[in-house]
Homo-oligomer: A and B are copies of this chain.
């Protein structure tokens, strides 16, 4: 089965794990994307994600179908993406794949995160806590930029 979800609540990994585990599966692989505290040298304070939800869900389900065509040994796929504000070290996306053997499961996770980043209409707004360089000005300024996944 495919379990695809967009949610504003924190992502619970144990809940996703329980969805994909199965007695016939010897392998589960996952990718978990997390809010980092920096981007190209700038200090990131938080991220916010927005999606055009109907299209994002449709694209995510389409990705699951593509993965199953390429990797036929797959049993379950779960793709959970957070929307709204995500604090540093919190999970923004979690992908889990289960199957009988490890090779297809590992390759499917890699394929799914690359395709998600490239093709699914979910955008992130990155908030920075920038200090005005090093001339004794300690005042912090907050700025942000919208960016596509890459």
**Which residues of A come within 8 Å of B, CB atoms?**
13-14, 17, 21-38, 88-89, 100, 102, 105-106, 109-110, 113
Contacts and interface: CB of A to CB of B under 8 A. Distances in A.
A38 to B, nearest CB: 7
Q: 9 tightest A-B contacts by CB?
A: A26-B36, A23-B37, A28-B32, A30-B30, A106-B110, A29-B31, A23-B89, A23-B88, A26-B34
How many copies altogether?
2
A35 B26 contact: yes
A36 B13 contact: no
The majority secondary structure among interface residues of chain A is mixed
A106 B113 CA distance: 10
B14 A36 contact: no
